[in-house]
Amino acid sequence: MGSILISRSLARALLASVALLTASVLLAGCDTDQVSLATNAKANQPVPPKLLAAMVEKDMDLQSPILVRLFKQEAELEVWKQTRNGQFALLKTYPICRWSGDLGPKVREGDRQAPEGFYSINPGQMNPQSAYYLSFNTGYPNAFDKALGRSGSQLMVHGDCSSRGCYAMTDEQIAEIYSLGRESFFGGQKAFQLQAYPFKMTPVNMAKHRNNPNMPFWKMIKEGYDHFEVTRQEPKVDFCEKKYVFDAAKTPDAKRDPVFDASAKCPAYVIPEDIASAVREKDARDQAEYAKLVAKGTPVARMNTGIDGGMNKIFAAKIPEGSTGLSEGAEGTTLQMLAMAKAPGTIPGHVNPPRPNLDAAAPSPQEEPVVAVSAPATSTRVAAAQPAEKSQEKSQEKSQSGGFFSNLGRKMGLGTADTTATASAPPPQATASVAPATTSTTPPSAASRLKAAVTRFVPGRDTTKDAPKPAVAAAKPAEPAKPDTRLAATRPALKPTVSDDPAGGPQMAGAAPVVQSNSFDSRFGAVK
Between 494 and 47, where is the model more confident? 47
Residues 281, 347: one domain?
A: no
Residues 234, 324: one domain?
A: no
State the catalytic residue, choosing from 30, 97, 161, 166. Answer: 166
Which of the residue ranges 149-158, 179-188, 407-416 would you say has the lowest mean pLDDT? 407-416
Would you place residue 4 in the very low, low, confident or very high pLDDT band (cuts 50, 70, 90)?
Answer: very low
Does residue 76 have a pLDDT over 60?
yes
For the chain, the average pLDDT equals: 73
> What's the CA gap between 525 and 420, in Å, rounded?
15
Q: What is the pLDDT of residues 22-45, one digit of tens each?
A: 333 333 333 344 447 888 999 999
Does residue 172 have a pLDDT over 70?
yes
Residues 117, 262: one domain?
A: no
Does residue 205 have a pLDDT over 90?
yes
Does residue 152 have a pLDDT over 80?
yes
Residues 52, 113: one domain?
A: yes
Residues 111, 82: one domain?
A: yes
Mean pLDDT, rounded, for 458-485: 45
Q: What is the pLDDT of residues 244-281, one digit of tens each?
A: 999 999 999 999 999 999 999 999 999 999 999 999 99
Residue 364 forms part of a structural domain: no
pLDDT of residue 280: 98
Name the residue type at position 502.
P
Number of H helices, E strands in the chain: 15, 12
- State the DSSP string of 19-34: HHHHHHHHHHHHHHHH
- Please list, residue by residue across 367-377, b when 16 or more beta carbons sit within 10 angstroms of its beta carbon and e when fewer do: eeebbeeeeee
Would you place residue 341 in the very low, low, confident or very high pLDDT band (cuts 50, 70, 90)?
Answer: confident
Residue 220 forms part of a structural domain: yes
pLDDT of residue 22: 39
Between 433 and 126, where is the model more confident? 126
Last residue of a domain, which of 262, 277, 301?
301
Residues 279, 317: one domain?
A: no
> What's the CA gap between 381 and 385, in Å, rounded?
13
Mean pLDDT, rounded, for 483-509: 40
Residue 499 forms part of a structural domain: no
Does residue 481 have a pLDDT over 50?
no
320: helix, strand or coil: coil
Would you place residue 7 in the very low, low, confident or very high pLDDT band (cuts 50, 70, 90)?
Answer: very low
- How many separate domains does the chain show? 2
Q: What is the pLDDT of residues 274-318, one digit of tens each?
A: 999 999 999 999 999 999 999 999 999 877 666 778 999 999 988
Angle CA(76)–CA(163)–CA(142) in degrees, nearest 5? 75
Mean pLDDT, rounded, for 77-92: 98
Residues 231, 265: one domain?
A: yes
Q: Is the pTM of this model over 0.85?
A: no
Share of the chain above pLDDT 90, in %: 49
Task: Note whether 117 and 151 are within 8 A (CB).
Answer: no
Q: Can you list the positions of beta strands (E) in 221-374?
A: 237-240, 243-246
Mean pLDDT, rounded, for 107-132: 95
Residue 96 forms part of a structural domain: yes
Residues 49, 71: one domain?
A: yes
Instruction: Report which listed range, 70-84, 338-352, 476-490, is most confident.
Output: 70-84
Last residue of a domain, which of 358, 381, 404?
358
Last residue of a domain, which of 260, 277, 301?
301
Looking at residue 124, which CATH number applies to its domain? 2.40.440.10
pLDDT of residue 304: 66
Residues 231, 268: one domain?
A: yes
Does residue 171 have a pLDDT over 80?
yes
Would you place residue 216 in the very low, low, confident or very high pLDDT band (cuts 50, 70, 90)?
Answer: very high
Does residue 488 have a pLDDT over 80?
no
> What's the CA gap between 454 and 449, in Å, rounded?
9
pLDDT of residue 382: 38
Between 490 and 200, where is the model more confident? 200
Residues 258, 297: one domain?
A: yes
Residue 75 forms part of a structural domain: yes
State the catalytic residue, choosing from 158, 209, 227, 240. Answer: 158
249: helix, strand or coil: strand
> What's the CA gap between 516 and 489, in Å, rounded?
9
4: helix, strand or coil: helix
Mean pLDDT, rounded, for 336-352: 80
Q: Which helix (H) or strand (E) holds 473?
A: helix 469-475
The yes-or-no answer on residue 166 being catalytic is: yes
Question: In angstroms, what CA-CA distances link 317 with 135, 324, 354, 494?
Answer: 25, 9, 13, 9
Would you place residue 326 in the very low, low, confident or very high pLDDT band (cuts 50, 70, 90)?
Answer: confident
Residue 284 forms part of a structural domain: yes
The yes-or-no answer on residue 266 being catalytic is: no
pLDDT of residue 15: 46
Q: Which domain holds residue 85?
A: 34-199+302-358
Residue 232 forms part of a structural domain: yes
Residues 150, 241: one domain?
A: no
Residues 123, 271: one domain?
A: no
pLDDT of residue 435: 41
Residue 59 forms part of a structural domain: yes
Task: Note whether 446 and 406 are within 8 A (CB).
Answer: yes
